[in-house]
Chain A
């Protein structure tokens, strides 16, 4: 019985992220528009967009291979799995031990790998630009992320997210400079990874500056829907990750009963609202930077992450 309940919770988590992801995107757009004194699209517009795309026919470029058509599913699957492993409203889910933080980072890497390949598949110049720039960003974002993971797991003595979260909500944390450094670094990485301002402008199709959009330029119909959906999921994943680690309160623990889950869910939604709002504020108050400044931006993140790890290595007998 317990296993079935656990499986249900796990399944619920998977469905939950699926459902919430477009909503978060819509919410962000709405808040951004409001901040810019526009009315903005309705909150549920992303769902409509997805449905619209799914119903449309697919136009596949002449030179596209099977990889082009398979990639959206692979990307979606990898991100979905990663997203469902990040604690949202509860920790200690039944499969949470099957992949730790490092594996989650690597899963996102897989998704990016296939996205970049898909960008190259048709053989257009814009696809190449996107893939090339994406793979310029990744080598800095990933090590930065790994460094952040290191800081956290050295503190928590675990790379398992559930344990990290449990540790962060526990009494042993204290105020640590390393934690602060990694929070800043994580936010920077998250911005870069999700193609947000100031690294990339999700709303642009201006050829010379785009990264993510350039790669998916050739996609249409249901394929594009999958990719857009995956992008929303990834955003949700990062927001959940940040809030789970740095706002670890209110999480349900396995076996606590239904009320805990309900409370967890409510707290989680509140966190999303808060984090989304802050993200939107940040994005509207900053200008996009030149593509080649991105490396400096991410280099800073990497340095912060490394600094955080080093401080831990040196400052404490772990």
Chain B
């Protein structure tokens, strides 16, 4: 692998982490969705570059799924959901944005700290890729746990999936089966989430998860 190839892959993966931070930073709903779309675009670029570098054309399919589905379809759908359900336009963070960001930086450091010594023998691209994808996964999780609002949690979850795809595409020669299944699973996942959002809408008039808590009896 040449230096250029490596650098581009590195930049794209690093970009993904950066966008994850941007996701964490957003405190309003619509920009959040837009930034998620941006992340999907970066992901598809990264996957496409991997396809090119590894000479694995099937990865282009993954890239285009990421682009078409995650960068376009889902953001649009989320826009409509937010609009139609009249969801509060502000993201409600659990702790302040500052501490969250700081914690996020810590997570990135952790993932690099864990990964770098581990993959000493693996090729460096894979190593970087893994470190970055782990960072994206952790940041996605952080997003899920530091937001009250369901839509932002869903976005956090999808960001986590983006990290997985980054990792999968970075693993050289991983059979196609897996990527497709990942893509499909995300599709199914989203449909199911959609169904649930729909039902929850139907019954609770809000997607704020805290509303769910009100219906707990002391019956457990």
Indicate yes or no for A touching B, C-beta below 8 A: no
Residues of B bordering A, CB below 8 Å = none
